[in-house]
Amino acid sequence: MTELFGKSKGPAPLSERVRPFNFEDLVGLESIVGENTPFGSQIRKDSLSSSILWGPAGSGKTTIARIISKKTKNHFSSISAGLSSIKEVKEVMGKAKRDWEEGGKSTLLFIDEIHRYNRAQQDAFLPYLEEGSVVLLGTTTENPSFHLTEALLSRCQVVVIPPLSKESIKKILINALEKDEKIKESIEEKVEDKLLETFAEISSGDARFALNALESYILHYPKNRRRDPESVVKWLSKSKIVYDRSGEEHYNLISAMHKSIRNSDPDAALYYLYRMLEGGEDPLYIARRLVRVAIEDVGNADPVALRLALSAKEAVDFLGMPECDLALAQTVVFLCACPKSNSLYIAASEVKSDLKKGKRFPVPLHLRNAPTKLMEELGYGKDYIYAHDEEKGIANMECLPLELKGRKYYFPKETGYEKKIKEWLDMWKKRKG
């Protein structure tokens, strides 16, 4: 069986050596495991319900599980969804059932990266959770709504663990400097406060990254180099980038960029754009979203927006990264500055809503072509009025099916170019009489 909490066979990194063994020593997680919190109360009473710990890397999920493993009086077992085989999982579940039937004790089963299990594998846990032989404690960096089955989620509480704050990371680093023997033996000069703040900043809430960066700096940073934050970060080669092209952060950032553009905020929109580009996002994916923004949020308020968005897509195709970034940035800023209208979006939604309600009525006979004699005899095209032959350029003729006569979908706003469109449509309506 793939046990996760065994002793390390080699020298442990700093992040492992200073891992807390008590809830009181956890930094930045008081709102999650504090005595007066629902989750913290369950742990201290050893009455934990099946739980999913959802949070980013280095936020303390595994540390919480390890502390629980030392506190519980139930049987405890741990496996990794990324490393364990189906055979191992079945062995664990079988043993848990036997222990429960023979001694009446449940098994607290810790599963790291539980989102890696497929639907069938997740469903295999359900009978054991249902009967009580297993209490599940799973961790995931992925949104449980997307990666865990509804049946499993309905039997678990989801505990959301946010990224650690910059202040909490800094406190963790200070604790490591004061308490870890290897670090105290190796350190030759005081680590400046500004440098600790830099490690906390580039970690993006990941304590493991910050601690390992600190250890690398103390043990390996060249003595003859400048020790200012910029030089150290450059030496570390790159900062921690919290971005997963296939995970939730992918959707969070593209959504944030879209909504910032909708709210005409170029600074925020540019920030999220470059967060994605820095994280390796496909620039064509971003370009496609900008085309959608031009249609959905600008629409006829500025028809030029769509042309510019499509031009940005062409620039991405032609230039590629990194040169195409400015084409995307130019489009983002232009879309932010554009007058906005969602009239087209609303009109399309209303039409689709009517169709979903079954409002699919026959096309009026006068709007149908009559390419055959039979169709002409049946009235196809009868009473059709050719608008160009009319003095006012429009015919007094109903084009919607009779059942939808008078139905309005498109209501242009008094915004940008759409104001002109509204004036034209009002003019045609007046001429139609």
How confident is the model at residue 262, as a pLDDT?
95
Rounded to the nearest angstrom, the gap between the alpha carbon of residue 7 and the centroid of all alpha carbons in its chain is 35
How many Å apart are CA 202 and CA 373, to the nearest integer?
77
Rounded to the nearest angstrom, the gap between the alpha carbon of residue 22 and the centroid of all alpha carbons in its chain is 32
CATH class belonging to 166-235:
mainly alpha
- The two structure tokens encoding residue 4: 């996760």
- The two structure tokens encoding residue 30: 């008081």
Domain boundaries, the chain: 14-160, 166-235, 248-337, 361-432
CATH class belonging to 361-432:
mainly alpha
How many Å apart are CA 184 and CA 192, to the nearest integer?
15
- Which residue type does 171 have? K
Query: For residues 46 and 72, is the Cβ–Cβ distance under 8 A?
Result: yes
How many Å apart are CA 117 and CA 90, to the nearest integer?
13
Tokens 């309506």 belong to 429
CATH topology (fold) of 248-337: Zinc Finger, Delta Prime; domain 3 (1.20.272)
Query: For residues 269 and 255, is the Cβ–Cβ distance under 8 A?
Result: no
Asked whether the CA dihedral 241, 246, 247, 251 is positive or negative, the reply is: positive
How many Å apart are CA 302 and CA 179, to the nearest integer?
62
Query: For residues 209 and 216, is the Cβ–Cβ distance under 8 A?
Result: no
- Using CA atoms of 58, 154, 117, 256 in order, give the dihedral in degrees to the nearest 10: -50
Q: Tens digit of pLDDT for each residue in 237-272?
A: 655 555 555 566 778 889 999 999 999 999 999 999
Query: For residues 197 and 166, is the Cβ–Cβ distance under 8 A?
Result: yes
How many Å apart are CA 29 and CA 167, to the nearest integer?
12
Instruction: Please tell me the number of Cα atoms within 13 Å of 73 on its side-chain side.
Output: 7
Q: How many other CB atoms sit within 10 Å of the CB of residue 320?
A: 11
How confident is the model at residue 322, as a pLDDT?
86
The low-confidence residues of the chain, meaning pLDDT below 50, are: 1-2
Which among 8, 148, 5 is positioned nearest to 63, based on CA atoms? 5
DSSP 282: -
Query: For residues 160 and 137, is the Cβ–Cβ distance under 8 A?
Result: no
Which among 188, 156, 307, 218 is positioned nearest to 17, based on CA atoms? 218
How many Å apart are CA 41 and CA 34, to the nearest integer?
8
Q: Tens digit of pLDDT for each residue in 39-69?
A: 999 999 989 999 999 998 889 999 999 999 9
Tokens 């009109």 belong to 347
CATH number corresponding to 14-160? 3.40.50.300
Q: How many other CB atoms sit within 10 Å of the CB of residue 256?
A: 17
pTM value > 0.85: no
DSSP 188: -
Helix, strand, or coil here: 134?
Answer: strand
21 CB-near residues (< 8 Å, 6+ apart): 66, 67, 70
How confident is the model at residue 344, as a pLDDT?
93
